[in-house]
Structure 1
Amino acid sequence: MKNPLALIRSIPWKTVCHAVWRFVRRRWKLLLLLAIILLPFIALGFYLFAPEKLEYITAEAVRGDLIQSVEAVGTVISEKDLELKFPVTGVVEEVYVKEGDTVEADQVLAELRNNSLEADRSSASASYQAALADLRALEEGTRPEEIAIAEAEVENKRAALAAARATLENAERSLGRSQGELDQLHREAETSLSGYVSTAGSTISQELTDIENSLNELDDYFDTTVIKNAVEFRSRIEYEIYVRKREETGVAIADALLGSRPADFEEALLNLGTAREAALHAVAAADDAYTIMVSLPTSNYLTTATKETYKDSFAGERNSIQSALNDIEDQLKATRDASANFSTQIATEESAFATAQGTKDKALADITTYETSLRVQEAQLALKKAGARQADIDAARAAANRAYAGVRYAQARLDDTVLKAPIAGRITKVNLKAGEFTGDFEDFNRAITMLGDSPYRVKMFVSEIDIPKVQYEQEGGVELDAYPGRDFLLQVTEIDPAATSVDGVPKYRIKLDFLENEEKNLKIGMTGDVEIITGVQKDVTMVPGRSVIKNALGQNIVRILHGGDEIEERTVVVGMESDTDVEVISGVEEGEKVVILIKE
């Protein structure tokens, strides 16, 4: 491979230069023409493809007084004659002025009955104070004394739970003892009274069977032709009554016979009582049968002898039934007397058993109640030791704010019942009397009219963006077109609560009063530029409003220019804004250059 340097040295440079010079001398005109044509294109290429240089429009952060204002066109209006009405209806409580009286601004002219509204305000105020107390309690936290009290209450609940469990154990022991005593008494009674129980069963069976047989005999007597005809002729209704009683008695006897085999003395007593009731029914039926027989008249068929024979037969059956009843009652008395001692002891023990059962049930209920109460008390103690959560504090603060809003609402409703003079002036007419109803809102006769000392005001309309800045008693001025260069001082005295459509745009009407008597210089309809001073910040750092922008996170930032082209994005906290400038609370120092616009 040849050496490049040696190759260059081998070129005949002298010959080459001589050849180029001869070419230029022969073609110089052509070369000059090409240079003239190509140079603009070369310059344009350098211009188009050269790197762009950014241009920064900046401003300096300054320190001074920042004034915020709201501006709009105002019109001079006249409100010399004012017709004042209550914004609500009601009964007039008191009228404090009469025609010809001179009044000051905000002087009370009349008042409606408002006892209920005053009570609402007091209630709302009390609720607000309670909400504030709850909020303070959460913010201050739980005191050590309160925790000690809560711990003592937990111990009391535990002691009460332990006592209830001990009561339950005692009640269960008492139940077991009472059950054993009852079982023993029942065994003793069963052994001692077994003979009475057996006799009671046989007595029930025997005597009820005898009664049923006697009743059947009576039925047979009534079925004989002689008696049947006589009954049909003389005592048909009485016989029908007897038949019903007989049927009821038969049913009672059948039910009573089911108890002819009692298991113990208590059942024997119960069954003997049932048998006695059935026997009583039978006695009543036999008495009715005998009465019917006695009342039957004699006839060719029912002779006196025949009737006497049947009377004796009816009487015999009635006596048999009565005798059976007596036997049942004797057996009932004997069994009751024999079992009286056992019944008393069993009743006493059953009462003790029921008492123990009641004590047990109450102890179980108390245990459930105390367990629940203990869990609640332990949870409350844990809450007191843990302290209030921030969410609870925020909720309590929201409740306090809501209660305060309730106070303001109640106060606003109360204020609507008081009619005040909006400006100073003289009362010209009073159409209200104490005790009268104000009428509806269209009843313009129920009003107070007055003549204002300052008859002229300025009316202006501001946008919904600016209306939050405007407050009562803010001052400003108006430069009327009729008096260029002269400012008339004003004060905000009225702000409409609702928007008014102006050329299809919602705006809010504001009325301002002149601070000085300018009546001789003003005419209705004059217009001018009104400026209301809505805020002043003394000695603050401020930057142009266009220099404050939002980043991707929604934070306010400004771009600080260092040197000639170094940009620093810095987060700032802004305050009050004017039409052109913004107060910077932190983030920018006086004298720093902030970027308003970057031109490329």
Structure 2
Amino acid sequence: MKKIALIILGIVILSGAVLYFVFRNKGSEPELWEVKKGSVAREISETGTVKVSEKINVGFKNSGRVKTIDVKVGDSVRKGQRISSLDSDQIAIELNEARAALEIAKADYLKLLAGSSGEERNLALVAVSNAEKSFANAKQSLADIESSAKEDTENAYENAIDDLEDAELKTYNALVVAKEVKLNYFFYDDQESLVVLENFASIQKLYNSLSASVSISETGSFNDVEKSLLDARTFLFDISGNLDSIRAMSETVKYRNVVSSAYKTSLDNHKAYLNTARNNIISAQQDISAVKVSNTKSINTAKSAVDSAEATLNTAKYQLLLTEANPTEESKSLYIAKISQAEARTLLLQNKLGDGELRSPADGKVVEVNKRIGEIAQPTDYIVSIMPSGPFQVEVDIYEEDIVEVEEGNPAVINIPAFPGKDFLGRVVSIDPAEKLIDGVVYYRIKIDLDQPEENMKPGMTADVIIQTLKKENVLVVPRSALKIEGGITKVRVNVNGRIEERQIKTGLFGEDYVEVISGISEGEKVEI
């Protein structure tokens, strides 16, 4: 009985485990969210304080020359009324150019989707054919230049060997003359004979070394020739010095009238011959160096031409493939990115053009005008100061990382705990350019003008503020929870007919809950969240 009870208990435990895992897995199936168009807003939340309204200093965001001053001290102004403007002619020109570039980008994308015409394909075929001919010509030109360079190099070294052989011959002739002078005149045991004997022995030794070096160069490598040239240059210099010493001995008192003038002249002539041979050796070295430099430059230029021609051919082949194939997702994404870039520049210039007009942030009265027409205004300059007509403002300290997103005119929703359940609307009317340290952290103070304050509102009341810094409407959105960011690449998991595939996307504006999607997925697709 105990055995049967244990078996039943085991079955119950196993069944419970199976049911646990089945229901746990069933409950953990990922939730799907359908991609659709919606709004994305970026908001900043902070806590501020209600204050009695103070003078608002208003200035331009960008520098420029003041074109108009539309108010004077004492004038009453309404919120949104233009009070000054900058000369924006150049920005208007740039904006027109940006709009034209945007239209071109859109047209190129439509052309990509429509595919290539027969005429475009024929043009692409011609481009490939021309590129193939250019590539073949460039390769043949490289081969010709390399062949010519080889021939020039061989000629330079052959000429150098000729110069070496000539130097060897001139050295031998000098050795013969030195020997005859020694045998005919300097055969005594005097100092002059010892000097002549020593220099003759030196010439003979140098000649043997030169002769051996020349023999190696005649059958060796180019490096052997260059070494032989270097050796010959030194040997010839030393042998010339030896002849000088022998010639000097022939002019001593003892031998001046003994050595014949013919031998003296012969010594002088052979020294000149050796100097000429040495100059020829130096010229041969310079010729070889010049040929090397010239050949390297010509070959490198020809190789660059081959690489360029090959790149042109590959581009032409790629363009031909584009005319024959449907546009890929990569090419679509590229053209969409170009459109987005053009849209961003257009929007930037539109904003910059709009920033060229200074408008009153609130109803009030002008109390100061600090610039004149024609003067240069900087972003730090206050053009006009306005005393708002509303009794209260809200002052808020914004963290330094958030202040870069806040602009004058941003809408705000204010909740004051003293008035529960009621939201007050307002707009940012000023941003203090000076930083403020709070517990070692940098903040910047902004002022928000309240649209309709309560009559019994008091200065010093706490105000919870939400500032809307940026908003995009009618754009593709997905929840932030759908994003998978790895290594700087943003992906989502898309359900395609019950099969999950990871897909890279390009994102735009990040909101509190949702993210704008620029490319990578389409409206109606479903993603895991």
- TM bin (shorter chain): 0.3 to 0.5
Decide which structure has the larger Cα Rg and report it: 1
